[in-house]
Amino acid sequence: MHKRTFSWTTEDGIKIHACEWAAATPKAVVAIAHGLGEHIERYDHMARWFNARGFAVIGYDRRGHGQSGGKRGHSPGVGPLLDEIAQLLVEARTAYQDLPVFLYGHSQGGGLVLSYTLHRNPKVSGVIASAPWIQLSFTPPAALVAVGKLMRKIYPGFLQGNNLKTRLLSRDDKVVQAYEADPLVHDRISAAVGIGMMQEGDWLMQQKGGFPVPLLIAHGEADGVTSSEASETFAAQLEGDVTFKGWAGLYHEIHNEPEKEAHFQYVEQWLSARIV
């Protein structure tokens, strides 16, 4: 396994930090979009697990996150976030021209890879959405939503707290403690991003029929952050090679739960069955 960092600059001048975990003899590439408020280095253990089994891994810090530039928690809208995923795929195909590429998104990243695939129909071999932000497991305070909608019109960069209860991330106390102590983690979300993601989730729930590529949606059934019920309903509305995998008793970050090995193994089997 060889790990390297690199970067690219968006059209609006934001420097994006990225990482590649190169496998010795890769059979496919997994491109990762992380969740709200976190960063790609939190997936190091997962990348190394897949590296050991022949998968190269590439990922990035979303604008306003981790070591990337930009106002914390802000994007002018959902569109630039989808553009970042497009560039991630460019980087993956440049590094691994002849290999299958799979998109993997968690939480906000999960919602974004679903939206990206439906809006832009990319040439990827499959999509994995882990606990995707389609709908939240809780109802955000009405006053905060109202302020967000108003400020989105007059000051899209207006920041609020994301109201994340960190104890809902994982049943592993060490994971929660590490998250809370991580200087690259933040709890900011702008009006443009918050309202934009909620509207995009509503749009996703209206989609029916064929999904353009093989799709796996994995969700902890005890997730108190994003709704596993919404994920299951969304998957049931689709046609084609679509799989919903519910994990009984697991919290939001399946890849950081005590049972993470079982999740990794399930994803590996799903990926391997779709490598052609």
Domain borders along the chain are 2-272
252 included as an active-site residue: yes
Q: How confident is the model at residue 50 (pLDDT cuts 50, 70, 90)?
A: very high
223 included as an active-site residue: yes
In the block, tokens 């939503």 appear at 145
Helix (H) / strand (E) containing 255:
none
Is 2-272 assigned to CATH 3.30.300.30? no
Does 271 score more than 90 pLDDT?
yes
Does 89 score more than 80 pLDDT?
yes
7 included as an active-site residue: no
Instruction: Give the contacts of 60 (CB within 8 A, at least 6 positions apart).
Output: 16, 17, 18, 19, 32, 33, 40, 68, 84, 88
Active-site residue, selected from the candidate residues 68, 75, 223, 227: 223
Residue 118: half-sphere exposure toward Cβ, Cα within 13 Å? 20
End-to-end CA distance of the chain, in Å? 23
Does 1 score more than 80 pLDDT?
no
Residue 142: what pLDDT?
78
- Section 11-31 average pLDDT: 96
Residue 213: half-sphere exposure toward Cβ, Cα within 13 Å? 27
Active-site residue, selected from the candidate residues 68, 75, 107, 231: 107
Rounded to the nearest 10 degrees, the angle between the axes of helix 108-120 and helix 78-95 is: 80
Active-site residue, selected from the candidate residues 219, 252, 255, 263: 252
User: pLDDT tens-digit profile of 184-240?
Assistant: 999 999 999 999 999 999 999 999 999 999 999 999 999 999 999 999 999 999 999
Residue 99: what pLDDT?
97
Q: Render 96-145 in DSSP notation, one character per residue.
A: STTS-EEEEEETHHHHHHHHHHHHH----SEEEEES--SSBSS---HHHH
